[in-house]
Amino acid sequence: YGSPQTYKMSSQVRLRLLPSARCLYDEPVQVKVAGLKSRQLVTMRARLTDDKGVMFSSSATYRADGNGKIHLDRDPSLSGSYVGVEHMGLLWSMKPDTLHRYFHKSRILNPVMVMFSVHEEGDSKMLAEVTNERLLIGDGVSRILVEERNVCGVLYTPTGGGPFPAVLDLSSTRSEKRACLLANKGFVVLNLTLFTDKPSKIKEMHLDYFEEAVNFLKQHSKVGSKGIGVISRSKGGDIALSLAAFVPGVEAVVCINGCNANTAFPLYYKKRLILPPLSFDFKKFIPTESGAVIGMHVLDNPLAEENKDTLIPIERAKGHFLFVASEDDLNWDSKTYMDQMVERLKRHGKDNFESVCYPGAGHLLEPPYGPHCESCPHYLSDKPGMWGGESRSHAAAEVHMWKKIQEFFRTHLKAGHKATNHGTFLLKKKSL
């Protein structure tokens, strides 16, 4: 990525990002300060503006060592947005300048620009500043809009000829971040958005549409895996589970904070209703002082006798599952749903699954090193939703989960032969 970059605002203070000020979005950087006075107290800050113009920022107080140096991977924050040794704390602790805002990144070719700065104690005079250019798309990775038959999405392909393992990425609302970051790691990824219209206008969903996307990937010239992987979160999780249960060729499913029953809309396949929706009651939303609502108890009990037809028959799946659940999910009871899925598979004599649970994490688990979103507009409610999670625990969960997802897909989506340039990409500036 080139040599480390140093920016200084005074004759002495230097702020450096290692190994470089340019990196991929999901990579950590080392933040180091030198040239301060011995034991000097300073304020470190980070800020960025997302693609909707919302500013996110964080700050933390540090004390330099006897040589006037601060290393964020060694030295503790004494106060501010977080305390303790957190080498990427300035990133995950960033908060929006307006309530109920999510970090939006829709212009994928443009890097996320994070301004790191060091100030005299009290956050007054700036002593040094550096820009961290965090790229979402690596050199050689292509982004292509797909409109083939009924499939409408965005395809990311890695550099090189392949063959590569393939993943279908389902997102509730438009978000390509996870898809392009997986492509950087050597996967062909097709991103589909579940809700291309307002949910209030959607009467039913059809599994055939997602099956077409699976078949599109299977037939792609760069795809060499025996089957297709699927990754999704929330409502998309039950679509992913249904694909595994009903559609051939789905070999690996990552279900992040999903439900074990079909939710929100009737699900059809081959012109036949296969799963009615689990009922929900918006009157069970719990209001909070901030104006956002907690939805943990909105869904009916999927194990109740009257709801048994909504349960997804995951025991039919021939592929493998990775279930991910957050224990502080305020959107719905993800941990309970995961436990019920594990129990169902065990009852059917199945061992084709892994499960991982994260205490202190909230609903919106994403690729690491972005601002933790505690509340933002909910696509099924007219009020913002509370997503849960304690920022430090949530950030640690994202780091662990991101590595786990890649290992899971590499294990269960073996390509025809070893792909070239697998998982390693040089970076260059993309045109804006």
Catalytically annotated residues: 234, 329, 363
Q: How far is CA 268 from CA 203, 210, 222, in A?
A: 11, 11, 31
Mapped onto helix, strand or coil, the DSSP state of residue 324 is strand
Closest CA relative to residue 302, chosen from 359, 241, 229? 241
**Rounded distance between C-alpha atoms, residue 129 and residue 349, angstroms:** 58
Distance, in Å, from the CA atom of 364 to the CA atom of 372, rounded to the nearest integer, reads: 8
CA dihedral (199, 205, 207, 208) positive or negative: negative
Inter-helix orientation angle 177-184/391-412, to 10°: 50
Q: What does the alpha-carbon distance between residue 196 and residue 173 come to, in Å, rounded to a whole number?
A: 7
- At 173, list the tokens: 């609302």
Q: How many angstroms separate the most distant Cα atoms in the chain?
A: 73
Contacts of 215 (CB under 8 A, 6+ apart): 249
Judge contact between 137 and 428, C-beta under 8 A: no
Helix ranges restricted to H, 28-174:
89-92
**Strand ranges in 158-303 using DSSP code E only, listed in sequence order:** 164-171, 188-193, 205-206, 223-233, 250-256, 267-269, 272-275, 286-287, 293-294
Q: Are 50 and 104 in contact (CB under 8 A)?
A: yes
Half-sphere exposure of 163 (CA within 13 A, CB side): 18
Structure tokens at 427: 């970076």
Helix axes 235-246, 207-218, angle to 10 degrees: 70
What dihedral angle (degrees, nearest 10) is formed by the CA atoms of 247, 348, 340, 407? -60
Distant-in-sequence, close-in-space partners of 181: CB < 8 Å, separation ≥ 6: 24, 25, 26, 136, 367
Q: What does 154-193 look like in DSSP terms, one character per residue?
A: EEEE-SSS--EEEEEEEESSS--HHHHHHHHTT-EEEEEE
